[in-house]
Amino acid sequence: MPKLFLLGIDGLPRWMWQQFADSGVMPHSRSLLSSGTLVPMKSSLPEVSSAAWASIVTGENSGGHNVFGFTDLIDGSYTLAFTSSRTFRAKPFWAHEGAGPSLIMNVPQTYPAQPMQGMLVSGFVALDLRRAVHPPEELEWLQSINYAVDADMSLVEKGKRVFVEELHRVMAARCQALHHHWNRQPWQNMMFVLTGTDRLNHYLWEDYEDQSSPFHQTFLDYYHEVDVQIGRILERLDDNVTIAAVSDHGFARQSCSVNVNCLLAQAGYLALKPSDRPSYIDMLPETRAFAMDPGRIYLHREGRYPKGLVTGDSAETLMQELTRFFLDVRVSGMPVVSEVKRGKDVYSGPFAHRAPDLILMPAGDVALSGRMNLSELVEQTRINGKHTFTESSFFVRGNNIGQIPSDMKVENVLDVIQPKQVASRRAA
């Protein structure tokens, strides 16, 4: 069975990777990309990292792995819980029988670390490193190098320079950890995800686009350092290893962030009782629909939620009404939603019944959020880059790979890079 190295570069658009490879910002990538195939890939719906990485490592859509976003309400309650390895219900490729020893580092949705054959360090959201490491005895060494699962976002408040320094620090420790553990034994599978790229894109996208910005070069320098790390990895891989590199979504400019729950409240679909820190438990029974990040719309259905009153008979009418509402709604004269998808059309699998009823695709430069704090329709934020559904990256090079679909999606990654394993699992 060919060995696998799966590199994740969170939020790196296909076109940007090619652009940086061609322009010399990422020279190692240039030689890598020329040795294999790079295609654009579609992300999960919605285009959030948690759901997309879950699809990449399981080959399922959200209906199959049960990760629809970073958050979800616990069934039959209004408890807003964060998706984790406990709620992640499909097996990642390293957990299947016969997968062999694997080194898995920084893959989102793997916290808390679950027992597996090999070593795993969870990716975000993993706020306690002590429970993010398997086997646990590896924790002490990681702590000794100040390994961090993620950068401290609050450093953005201290300025972009400080923030990017933090991203470099986190990446350096992560790469040090990769090479340290790489040496320990011959791994069958390795997966390593860099997430600083996504954080950089969120907060410095405006500097990437504005070549006169003092932080434009800072942006390029970070990608150059990513490329240096790609070069160090490539040096250690031979032709017998299937090399794949993926991102979970694309990226684009964000000019504003609109809170969908504000729209729903203004239109009378959502009603909250007064609260200093509103949450889903504050929804009143007259609520007919609510949103969760980024643009997941749930009907407040009877039987699904404790106070829900929307009946099955009225659901279709309500969904049609909401679809028209979202397509028509304007904020500052601008459209907010470009398309409304139906959950039942998008998801398949044993958890499809937990899916949102509608998924909003944001229009133009607009980003969507689903916060319950309704104080701001257009939210004040330093974020100026947003995810896109299209144009994530999929690269592969190897001798035993499957065919790349013309409409490549995140849930197809394993079909291409581990075709035999996927086929044998499906046959079983």
Partner 1 sequence: MSETSSCHNAGQTCWSCPAVEFKGHVDFRACGQAAFRKAAQGQLVVECRRRPEIGYFDPMSITYESCSEWKKTENGYLLDGMRVLILGMDGYLGWPLALKLAKLGCKVYGIDNMLRRKLVAERGAQSVTPIQSMQDRIEAARKHLGVDIEFREIDLMDRDALFAFIKEVQPESIVQFAEIPSAPYSMADVDKAVATINNNVVGTLGLLFGVRDHAPDASIIKLGTMGEYGSPLTGRPLFEGLFPGDAVLQYKGQEWSLGGELTPRDPVSFYHVSKVQGTFSVYEACKYWWLRSYDVMQGVIYGNYSDELVAHSDLNTRFDIDEWWGTVVNRFVAQAIIGMPLTIYGSGNQMRGYITLRDAMQCITRLIAAPPEPGQYDVVNQVTDVFSVMQIAKMVAQIGREFGLDVEVQRIENPRVEAEEHPYEVIHEKLTDRFGFQSESAFADEVRHLFRVLSQPEARNRILAQRDTLFPKTRWSGEHGKLAVLETWKPAA
Distances (CA, A) of 2 to 60, 223, 380: 22, 29, 49
Question: Which position among 369, 393, 412, 421 is part of the footprint of partner 1 (CB under 8 A)?
Answer: 369
What is the separation of C-alpha 148 from the centre of its chain, rounded to a whole number of angstroms?
Answer: 18
* 423 contact partners, CB below 8 Å, separation of at least 6: none
- The reply on whether position 146 binds partner 1 by CB under 8 A is no
Nearest Cα residue to 221 out of 386, 13, 20, 16: 20
- Report helix angle 216-235 to 160-182, nearest 10: 0
Minimum distance between the CB of residue 330 and partner 1, rounded to whole angstroms? 21
What mask of x and - would describe binding to partner 1 in positions 101 to 120, judged by CB under 8 A?
-------x------------
- The reply on whether position 169 binds partner 1 by CB under 8 A is no
Name which of 84 and 348 has its Cβ closer to partner 1: 84
What mask of x and - would describe binding to partner 1 in positions 208 to 247, judged by CB under 8 A?
----------------------------------------
Name which of 52 and 417 has its Cβ closer to partner 1: 52
- The reply on whether position 325 binds partner 1 by CB under 8 A is no
Minimum distance between the CB of residue 208 and partner 1, rounded to whole angstroms? 15
d(CA 226, CA 245): 13
- The reply on whether position 152 binds partner 1 by CB under 8 A is yes
Name which of 108 and 398 has its Cβ closer to partner 1: 108
Question: Which position among 87, 242, 287, 412 is part of the footprint of partner 1 (CB under 8 A)?
Answer: 87
Q: What angle do CA 17, 37, 20 make, to 5 degrees?
A: 15
Minimum distance between the CB of residue 262 and partner 1, rounded to whole angstroms? 14
d(CA 196, CA 167): 6
Name which of 4 and 258 has its Cβ closer to partner 1: 258
- The reply on whether position 426 binds partner 1 by CB under 8 A is no
Task: Count Cα neighbours of 103 within 13 Å in the Cβ-side half-sphere.
Answer: 21
Name which of 55 and 102 has its Cβ closer to partner 1: 55
Question: Which position among 40, 101, 278, 308 is part of the footprint of partner 1 (CB under 8 A)?
Answer: 278
Question: Which position among 19, 23, 34, 127 is part of the footprint of partner 1 (CB under 8 A)?
Answer: 127
* 320 contact partners, CB below 8 Å, separation of at least 6: none
Using the rule CB under 8 A, give the single segment among 145-153, 207-215, 340-348, 397-405 that binds partner 1.
145-153
Q: Count Cβ atoms within 10 A of the Cβ of residue 324 and give its class: 0-12 exposed, 13-18 middle, 19 or more buried.
A: exposed
d(CA 103, CA 5): 10
Token representation of residue 99: 């997968």
Phi, psi of 322, rounded to the nearest 5 degrees: -65, -40
- Residue 302 DSSP class: B
Residue with tokens 């970070």: 222
- The reply on whether position 261 binds partner 1 by CB under 8 A is no
Minimum distance between the CB of residue 88 and partner 1, rounded to whole angstroms? 11
Q: Other CB atoms closer than 10 Å to residue 428's CB: what's the count?
A: 7
Question: Which position among 78, 173, 352, 378 is part of the footprint of partner 1 (CB under 8 A)?
Answer: 78
Instruction: Reduce the DSSP state of residue 193 to 3 states and report it.
Output: strand
Q: Site residues for partner 1, window 279-308 (CB under 8 A)?
A: 279-281, 293-294
List interacting residues with partner 1 (CB under 8 A): 10-11, 48-50, 69-71, 73-74, 77-82, 84, 86-87, 108, 124-125, 127-128, 149-154, 157, 195, 198-199, 202-203, 257, 275, 277-281, 293-294, 367, 369, 371, 379, 381, 383
